[in-house]
């Protein structure tokens, strides 16, 4: 999905063929703030003006700036992914919920760059490690996945790779 970014806010981008206009709304707020333009430049200017107007409105009326979130949501995954998460969590000595929370917290702290094709997470003191899939390591139909983790987890990683029919090699 295409988005616009300004002052920490994200705006959606869509196009109406019937009206011949770009339009969108500010995401992540409790209110509804729309904007539109006939060109990308007009849309961008309208989005930035909408954010500025929203900030002024919130300040003048004592409105909370950002949307409220409960901190709870459901994620549906395949049974295979669920099993692998359970195994990874067990190896890390934490619950599945704690493991997923930790991975998501790390993802938010280290967001993907616009040029990245994967996620780059590395271990912590409990041995939790995730995969990195940099675009620069892609060779034809094969992709090299680099996994950095504490020595105590190497056997587990090799066993997991074998179950997934992956070739596992020690890095230099």
H or E stretch at 67: none
User: What's the confidence (pLDDT) of residue 63?
Assistant: 87
Cβ atoms 41, 82 nearer than 8 A: no
User: What's the confidence (pLDDT) of residue 132?
Assistant: 40
CA distances from 143 to 86, 89, 131 (A): 25, 25, 12
> What are the contacts of 28-35 at 24+ separation with CB within 8 A?
28/66, 28/67, 29/54, 29/65, 29/66, 29/67, 30/64, 30/66, 30/67, 30/68, 31/63, 35/11
Model confidence, pTM = 0.50
The parts of the chain modelled with pLDDT lower than 50 are 113-140
User: What's the confidence (pLDDT) of residue 139?
Assistant: 44
User: What's the confidence (pLDDT) of residue 66?
Assistant: 82
User: What's the confidence (pLDDT) of residue 24?
Assistant: 96
User: What's the confidence (pLDDT) of residue 147?
Assistant: 65
User: Tens digit of pLDDT for each residue in 146-162?
Assistant: 666 667 777 777 777 77
User: What's the confidence (pLDDT) of residue 153?
Assistant: 72
User: What's the confidence (pLDDT) of residue 71?
Assistant: 83
């Amino acid at each position: 999905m295409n988005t616009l970014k300004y002052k920490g806010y994200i705006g959606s981008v869509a196009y109406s063929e019937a009206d011949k206009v770009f339009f969108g709304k500010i995401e992540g707020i409790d209110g509804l703030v729309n904007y539109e333009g006939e060109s990308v430049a007009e849309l961008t200017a309208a989005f930035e003006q909408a954010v500025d107007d929203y900030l002024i409105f919130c300040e003048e009326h004592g409105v909370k700036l950002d949307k409220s979130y409960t901190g709870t949501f459901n994620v549906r995954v395949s049974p295979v992914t669920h099993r692998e998460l359970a195994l990874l969590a067990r190896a890390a000595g934490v619950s599945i919920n704690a493991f997923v929370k930790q991975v998501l917290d790390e993802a938010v702290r280290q967001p993907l760059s616009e040029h990245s094709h994967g996620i780059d997470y590395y271990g912590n003191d409990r041995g939790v490690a995730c995969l990195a899939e940099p675009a620069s390591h892609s060779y034809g139909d094969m992709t090299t996945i680099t996994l950095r983790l504490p020595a105590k987890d190497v056997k587990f990683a090799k066993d997991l790779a074998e179950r997934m029919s992956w070739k596992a090699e020690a890095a230099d």
